[in-house]
Chain A
Amino acid sequence: MIRRNILIFIAALSALSVFAQSAGLEPEQASYADSLYNDFHIEEVEVTARALTKDIIIPQTLKGEELARLNALTVADAIRYFSGVQLKDYGGVGGIKTINVRSMGSQHTAVYYNGVQLGNAQNGQVDLGRFSLDNLEEIQLYKGQKSDIFQSAREFGAAGNVYLTTRKPYFKTGERTHVRAQMRFGSFALANPNVGVDVKLTDALSLTLDAEYVYSNGKYPFRYKRVLPDGTTAYDTTAVRQNGDINAVRAEIGLHHYYRTTGFWRVHAYNYWSERGVPGAIVNNVWRNGERLWDRNTFVQGTWQDEWFGRWSTRVLLKYANDYTHYKNYDVKLLPSNNEYLQQEVYLSLANKVQLFNWWDVSVAYDYQYNALNRENLLLDDSKEFFDRHSHWLSAATAFNIKEYLRLQASVLMTAIQNRKSKIENPKITPGIFVSFRPYPKIDLSLNAFYKQSYRYPTFNDLYYTDLGNANLRPELARQHSVELAYRKASKTYDLAFTASYYYNRVTDKIIAYPKGQQFRWTMLNLGTVKINGVDAKADMSFYLPLRFVLRTRLNYTYNTAIDVTNPSDTYYGHQIPYIPWHSGSAVAGLEWTSKRGDHYGLNYSFIYVGERYCQQENTVYNYVQPWYTHDLTIYGEWSIQRYWLKANIEINNLLGQDYEVIQNYPMPKQNVRCTIAFRY
């Protein structure tokens, strides 16, 4: 039965079956690793961890059941619950969703999938709306960088980092197979089945398969209403969003081999196909747009890690990615267009860490990446274009502890990029320094601080886009300064964690589109300086109440100013940059009750607030965008009978049906509902 399930799955993933066949039929072995598997919910990095690698920058983490309880369909929805981030959301299941960390621009944020960065050399943005939560175990957001010196060189390079970690299999003694099946229905004709299988092939070797299908017709009602200053209605209309449908299939396969307590290798293959409409901006006299988008994202990545002499750790990462995008405009009102893009990426990383003394680690890492982009306009014969780039990163880092009071990390990264037909640029050196001070050994109170520089390199679009690209662009530089106070206290009845931070960032040489000295022509220029000052505060509190009730709350609040200080003669000098709210925050409260049998019932409420902001550089009444806030509710129950586990979940989003826009002229859905039934064996 189980074997048949796997075969069905493998058939569905025939393109990837090589992995399953080569790895799946090993003879079974008894192994010392059984007990280790039980602990696989811990990150691998920590498997080999010593005290030194404890985080200096405390990440924001959502994982496991906490993630499942949130009103969130995709990674982008979940990240709304983090502090210090600004989400751009074009609405609907298929709309693009990207994030900014501390107002520095989405291209300063790197997203990692199982430790390897997801790339988009074309536009530098990763659409987090495409990553389902169903196969994820954990989402972590690091401002600055992950303060672990044992990492790939590239990871030292981004200003903000989001780590997505897929579910890892773990088996209790005697277990060999896990099957998960889940069905989700919802508003806008959402249908979202998901199946996953974990197989223990040998005691050391396991296989995970996960596949998901998403369909939504994207037809949601939205409303535009304006009133006259005296309060009477000027206009009030409700329409249905058109051309927002999506059809997407995701399939993943992972093979994990833990051959020693210190060593493992893992291969992960990912494939995503989608077809979607691009619903476009709602403007006067335009209620429907006709662009269509087809995507196929494929990557295969491998990780190998081991430790030598108890002091020397090595990690190798390899990746090949092949991303195809086809964009077609069917809108008869516009000029037809039909473009194909193929991006390829080869990535190699070699990282080494040596523990010199118990209190002193050093690491060196080298990464190489090759990116290529083929672009073809299918309407014109002679419009094929090809761009490529070689990138090299070399990092050195060190970490040491002074007793229990002080922990220090310093890293330096050298980046060298060679774009097609240009000489290799002068390598850029960027430092980072991280300090954590814990004055009282018995009190979990720490004062953390960091300074970091990072470059955002121009994308292929910035450099070469027809008539717009500027091959002479310099990278954009972000300098971050941050201090943070963290306190945690836990007892049998409560678990409290507070963090408050202040940061000052300065982004210079900002890459912006600027009009050329000719009609209707733009070009990309290094023109722009932004000064960012902000405060993040968060409080996670859990209270273990009588009668097996648990109350969990999570509060986040961000205040920040992100001021354009490019040129005092600009009309927008000193104004808040577009789409950065001054105030934003979220509050989550969940009450869960566990029956004597161990079943769970819960109610989760969440509130997200994004304050007023402006949609263009000038902070004028014509560019003002109102605050938005949504109330979301989830009710769930979980039942376990022996090895079977069942969960039912109803989410109501935007409970009060607020009509709002995150991006101007892209209306968001009003009240909507999702129901999920999940089964695990």
Chain B
Amino acid sequence: MYHRFQILIIALCSLLLIACRKDEVVYPTIGTHVTDEVREGGLYVLCEGNMGSNKARLDYMNLHAGDYYANWYGEQNPTQLKELGDVGNDIQQYGSRLYAVINCSHKVEVMDMQARHIGQIDIPNCRYMAFKGDKLYVSAYVGSIADPDLLGSVYEIDTASLQITREVKVGHQPDELCVRGDKLYVCNSGGYLTNRYDSTVSVIDISTFEEAEKIHVGLNPTRIRADERGHLWVCCQGNYNDIQPEVVVIDGPHIQTPCANISIQGSTAYILDNTNKRLRAFSTIDYTEQPQPIDISSYENPYGLLATNEALYITDAKNYVSSGVLHCYDYTGVKHWSTYTGDIPGHLCRVTAEYDIHGGGDTPEPPAKTPYITRVYEYLPALGQFVNMLPKYEEGDDAESMCRKCEQAIANNAKGMVTLGGWGGYITFGFDHSVANLEGRDIQILGNAFYMTGSTEYGSSEPGIVLVSRDDNRNGQPDDTWYELKGSLYDDPSTDHAFSRTYTRKGDTLQNPFHTQPYYPQWLTADAYTLTGARIAPQTKVISGQNVQRILEYGYVDNKPNTDVEGTSFDISWAVDADGNPVSLPTIDFVRVYNASDEILGMTGELSTEVTGAIDLQMNK
């Protein structure tokens, strides 16, 4: 009898001891191949993790290799005590460093571009970041000395020494902040004070580091972003009850929409409405709603958002306590890939090729060709009311960096907008391939023309002439012979084919009280420049008290609405040489558009061709 019990005891004990405790091994980094698509650089994904779980996770999507690395930070920093921390709240690249706010670990983690730990800045209950010069600004729910009124603070940190240099009190529970000029704008959410939410943005003068004023926005503001014209978009969450959420553009309209997240790319603000599960798009020029670029209605909990010039990255946080999903779309709404992430993928940071982590690996596949333009070679607008705004000039910009900004706006179907200013202003762009001259129209060039109500004869038309060129000397630069694509007014006697005008810095006198920035291209070092080309006669007429233009028959940019593909497209067969003789071009490599109209219409300013993109139609066939 006893013997049998002993066997039982031994059996039970050994069963219990099968699974013994082992040394705790660091959390692994797990790579998954996600896509065969090749892009440059990568995307950092900061997953928040739930409070108290210490599961903030920094993942890396290597866009070059198409591989997703869960817990990338872990592999780079296995000796970090208790890993990355508790609740990741913001990640940004500045210079050649990555900065991540880890909210409940009360720190800003500073890393190199491979996410290797450099240092940390201890800031209690830190939330979001903004940068200017050599300084980092961090909003925090609490100050270094607890405030009896529960006010939060913004800290200034020297990015070289990683030391806190200054601190300023702002409102309740400050969330996102952004820099515009020499001011910091901070959302005071009041998010912890149920029924007593704040509704202001604190404006901090960076030089004195004092609060200059408080701007009233909507209730419970959490996010603030500047568009390329410097307008500030503020996401106000309302009170989750009777006061609805809205996006407030400071000195602009209030847009009634839930707004969990926002990302501005080119002249479009993408707003994540996670109540109705849709991604809304609004023009930053006239605030009109654009078609929704993608359908996210099947998401469980749309959460993170980043619009870049090449793609829309959007995350689904699911139920917050399990893996989220990262999706990548292009702007035509096509989903390219998806991958699982950590818990609550909230914050995305696109890093460029120069920091490519696995750059030394296999020779990459050549990138897939795109029908959209990929490069802007030249950009020289004539004086105009949106010059220096579309795209935005910032101190230090030169002709080259302005071209890059134009690319961000209109290349790769980004659907932003570039202004050409007054008569003669031009832009030169190209594709990642030569465009073939085949049957029918070859290139569609997009603008912002529209018909007046009930008419296809009149509307807003700001005609631009198209020139094309072949890279005959094969140097990759648009320094070859240009040929004009002959439009419907080419042979009209009112067209002046040999016009020229010199614009001077001195001649930049303020013309329109709505746009008070300099109109002279500020990146030019010369004080004058001369443009030459054709000028078409004024087409404006006043109908029902409005200035409208006669819509030209064919062959001009920004003349017909983009929905009219034929009317906005061009046939390379229309090319003529300087003497007006037809030229046969089998392919072209460069396209130049210049403003051929020369009219100034009082308060609404000059007629100015706007370009919002271009497509190789033959490639789509």
Binding site for B on A (CB under 8 A): 224-229, 231, 234-235, 237, 280-286, 332-336, 379-380, 382-383, 466-467, 494, 496, 514-522, 539, 541, 543, 553, 555, 557, 570-572, 583, 585, 587, 607, 609, 611-612, 615-618, 620-622, 626-629, 658, 660, 664-665
**Whole-angstrom CA separation of A229 from B105 in the bound complex:** 26
Pair B322/A229 contact, Cβ less than 8 Å: no
Knowing A234-B78, A518-B237, A618-B323, say if A336 contacts B86 (CB, 8 Å). Answer: no
Knowing A332-B142, A333-B142, A572-B322, say if A284 contacts B81 (CB, 8 Å). Answer: yes
Stretch at the interface among B48-56, B199-207, B225-233, B444-452: B48-56
**Contacts A/B (CB < 8 Å), 21 sampled:** A228-B78, A235-B81, A281-B86, A284-B54, A285-B85, A285-B105, A517-B275, A518-B240, A518-B258, A518-B274, A519-B261, A522-B320, A553-B9, A572-B322, A583-B19, A587-B12, A616-B321, A626-B22, A660-B21, A665-B53, A665-B54
Chain B: CB-nearest residue to A616: B321
Chain A residues in 8 Å Cβ range of B9: 553, 555, 587
**Whole-angstrom CA separation of A665 from B12 in the bound complex:** 30
Pair B105/A283 contact, Cβ less than 8 Å: yes
Name the distance in Å between A230's Cβ and chain B's nearest Cβ: 10
Name the distance in Å between A119's Cβ and chain B's nearest Cβ: 27
Chain B: CB-nearest residue to A333: B124
Chain A residues in 8 Å Cβ range of B194: 383, 466-467
Knowing A235-B79, A285-B102, say if A380 contacts B125 (CB, 8 Å). Answer: no
Chain A: CB-nearest residue to B120: A285
Chain B residues in 8 Å Cβ range of A621: 27-28, 30
Pair A284/B85 contact, Cβ less than 8 Å: yes
**Whole-angstrom CA separation of A626 from B21 in the bound complex:** 6
Chain A residues in 8 Å Cβ range of B122: 285
Query: How many contacting A-B pairs (Cβ < 8 A)?
Result: 191
**Whole-angstrom CA separation of A664 from B54 in the bound complex:** 9
**Whole-angstrom CA separation of A159 from B147 in the bound complex:** 48
Name the distance in Å between B472's Cβ and chain A's nearest Cβ: 56
Partner of A226 from B26, B258, B276, B342 at Cβ < 8 Å: B26
Pair A227/B26 contact, Cβ less than 8 Å: yes
Query: Does residue B477 face the partner (Cβ distance < 8 Å to A)?
Result: no
Chain A residues in 8 Å Cβ range of B23: 225-227, 231
Knowing A283-B52, A332-B146, A557-B12, say if A228 contacts B25 (CB, 8 Å). Answer: yes
Which of B54, B222, B340 gathers the greatest number of chain A CB atoms within 10 Å?
Answer: B54
Partner of B107 from A285, A383, A522, A572 at Cβ < 8 Å: A285
Pair A627/B318 contact, Cβ less than 8 Å: no
**Whole-angstrom CA separation of A227 from B104 in the bound complex:** 25
**Whole-angstrom CA separation of A543 from B124 in the bound complex:** 61
Partner of B340 from A229, A380, A494, A571 at Cβ < 8 Å: A571
Name the distance in Å between B102's Cβ and chain A's nearest Cβ: 7
Chain A residues in 8 Å Cβ range of B84: 284
Chain B residues in 8 Å Cβ range of A541: 5
**Whole-angstrom CA separation of A83 from B240 in the bound complex:** 46
Binding site for A on B (CB under 8 A): 1-2, 5, 8-9, 12-13, 15-17, 19-28, 30, 52-57, 70-71, 78-86, 102, 104-107, 120, 122, 124-125, 141-142, 146, 150, 173, 191-196, 222, 237, 240, 245, 258, 260-261, 274-277, 301, 317-323, 340, 342-343
Chain A residues in 8 Å Cβ range of B78: 226, 228, 234
**Whole-angstrom CA separation of A620 from B321 in the bound complex:** 12
Overall SS of chain B's interface: loop
Chain A residues in 8 Å Cβ range of B342: 622
Chain A: CB-nearest residue to B1: A494
Name the distance in Å between A586's Cβ and chain B's nearest Cβ: 9
Chain A: CB-nearest residue to B30: A621
Chain B residues in 8 Å Cβ range of A237: 81
Name the distance in Å between A48's Cβ and chain B's nearest Cβ: 38
**Whole-angstrom CA separation of A335 from B104 in the bound complex:** 12
Knowing A622-B27, A660-B21, say if A615 contacts B53 (CB, 8 Å). Answer: yes
Chain A residues in 8 Å Cβ range of B237: 518-519
Name the distance in Å between B342's Cβ and chain A's nearest Cβ: 7
Chain B residues in 8 Å Cβ range of A585: 12, 16
Name the distance in Å between A155's Cβ and chain B's nearest Cβ: 33
Chain A: CB-nearest residue to B302: A517
Overall SS of chain A's interface: loop
Chain A residues in 8 Å Cβ range of B30: 621
**Whole-angstrom CA separation of A238 from B27 in the bound complex:** 20
Partner of B102 from A228, A284, A519 at Cβ < 8 Å: A284
Chain B residues in 8 Å Cβ range of A466: 194
Knowing A380-B193, A518-B240, say if A611 contacts B82 (CB, 8 Å). Answer: no
Chain B residues in 8 Å Cβ range of A609: 16-17
Pair B24/A626 contact, Cβ less than 8 Å: yes
Pair B21/A629 contact, Cβ less than 8 Å: yes
Pair A583/B16 contact, Cβ less than 8 Å: yes
Name the distance in Å between B552's Cβ and chain A's nearest Cβ: 48
Pair A334/B24 contact, Cβ less than 8 Å: no
Partner of A571 from B15, B55, B142, B318 at Cβ < 8 Å: B318
Chain A: CB-nearest residue to B48: A520
Pair A628/B21 contact, Cβ less than 8 Å: yes
Q: Supply 17 further A-B pairs (C-beta < 8 A) apart from A516-B240, A616-B321, A622-B71.
A: A226-B26, A228-B26, A229-B26, A284-B80, A284-B81, A285-B106, A333-B106, A335-B142, A380-B196, A519-B261, A520-B191, A555-B9, A557-B16, A616-B343, A627-B19, A664-B53, A664-B54
Name the distance in Å between A327's Cβ and chain B's nearest Cβ: 15
Chain A: CB-nearest residue to B323: A571
Knowing A285-B122, A627-B20, say if A229 contacts B106 (CB, 8 Å). Answer: no
Chain A residues in 8 Å Cβ range of B301: 515, 517
Name the distance in Å between A64's Cβ and chain B's nearest Cβ: 24
**Whole-angstrom CA separation of A517 from B237 in the bound complex:** 12
Chain B residues in 8 Å Cβ range of A611: 19
Chain B residues in 8 Å Cβ range of A587: 9, 12-13, 16
Chain B: CB-nearest residue to A224: B82
Name the distance in Å between B114's Cβ and chain A's nearest Cβ: 18
**Whole-angstrom CA separation of A539 from B6 in the bound complex:** 12
Chain A residues in 8 Å Cβ range of B20: 627
Pair A227/B13 contact, Cβ less than 8 Å: no
Name the distance in Å between B132's Cβ and chain A's nearest Cβ: 26
Pair B79/A234 contact, Cβ less than 8 Å: yes
Chain A: CB-nearest residue to B325: A571
Name the distance in Å between A125's Cβ and chain B's nearest Cβ: 17
Knowing A553-B9, A622-B57, say if A284 contacts B322 (CB, 8 Å). Answer: no
Partner of A518 from B27, B173, B275 at Cβ < 8 Å: B275
Name the distance in Å between B2's Cβ and chain A's nearest Cβ: 8
Knowing A284-B81, A664-B53, say if A517 contacts B274 (CB, 8 Å). Answer: yes
**Whole-angstrom CA separation of A333 from B153 in the bound complex:** 12
**Whole-angstrom CA separation of A571 from B80 in the bound complex:** 29
Chain A residues in 8 Å Cβ range of B5: 496, 541
